[in-house]
Amino acid sequence: MRAISGLWRWRRNPLRRGTDLAEAWVGLAALLLILVVGPVVGAVIGGVAQDALQRSVQEQRESRQLVTATVIRKLDRSPLDADPETSTGRELRSRVLADWTAPDGTTHEGKVMAELQTPHRGDHFSLWTDLHGRIVARPLDSATATTHAVLAGIGAALLTTGLIEGGRRLAVWRMVRHRYARWDQAWERAGPDWGRTGTGS
């Protein structure tokens, strides 16, 4: 922002160097790119992510079914499970041996996590499976997909902003190095007699 304000300050200043004006123009160009390109990239990436995620939501809804499983017996708690003394009230899950019928009509049996605090033989609980009865995760819902798409758009916009700002800083760094190199050359031309009375006469 200081470089952009320099556009006005250096407009007709006799102390203005060419690099001062160039630095201000680079800053203004970077600001305009951030304000225009950043949101556009974010919107495009967010839209693409939204389309892909909503297709995934639809595919998962078609390929995953909620089936009813029946408890055969409760299993011992896995050593990796949370300590029951420190578990919250929401963690009402138990390891059980259960059987269920898949959407294709086949029967299955296996060890699963049931949303039952104290499971007993014959208790029923819901389980997500694919069409062949294999246990799968809950399908993605539309609201979560939209949230992920929005986050992807925001991330893309921020990344674009970072790249533009990085390019601006690199350009200014190169200008400053060039400026210092020119100063060094000017000092060399002045020679070791700089400042002595009668030098150059």
Q: What is the DSSP string of 32-78?
A: HHHHHHHHHHHHHHHHHHHHHHHHHHHHHHHHEEEEEEEEEEE-PPP
Residue 98 has pLDDT above 70, yes or no: yes
Model confidence at 87, pLDDT cuts 50, 70, 90, reads very low
Question: Cα dist. 3→34, 153, 160, 170 in Å?
Answer: 15, 29, 20, 14
Mind listing the pLDDT tens digit for each residue in 131-189? 888 999 889 999 999 999 999 999 999 999 999 999 999 998 998 888 888 777 778 77
Check residue 143 and give its pLDDT: 93
CB 122 within 8 A of CB 72: no
| DSSP assignment letter at 90 | T
Mean pLDDT of 190-198: 60
Is the per-residue pLDDT at 52 higher than 90? yes
Contact 108, 13 (CB under 8 A): no
User: For the chain, what is the mean pLDDT?
Assistant: 82
120 touches 71 (CB < 8 A): yes
Backbone phi, psi, residue 12, to 5°: -130, 35
**Residue-level pLDDT at 86:** 45
pLDDT at site 92: 67
The angle subtended at Cα 50 by Cα 44 and Cα 54, nearest 5°, is 155
Is pLDDT above 50 for 85? no
Q: What is the pLDDT of residue 56?
A: 93
pLDDT of residue 158: 96
Highest mean pLDDT among 40-44, 98-102, 114-118: 40-44
For the entire predicted model, the pTM comes to: 0.65
Q: What is the pLDDT of residue 69?
A: 92
**74's tokens:** 């409760």
Q: What gap in Å lies between CA 178 and CA 182, rounded to an integer?
A: 6
Where helices occur in the chain by DSSP H, the ranges are 2-9, 18-63, 142-190
User: Which neighbouring-strand residues pair with 73?
Assistant: 97
- Rounded to whole angstroms, the Cα distance separating 133 from 65 reads 9
What separation in angstroms does the CA of 174 have from each of 2, 26, 168?
A: 18, 12, 10
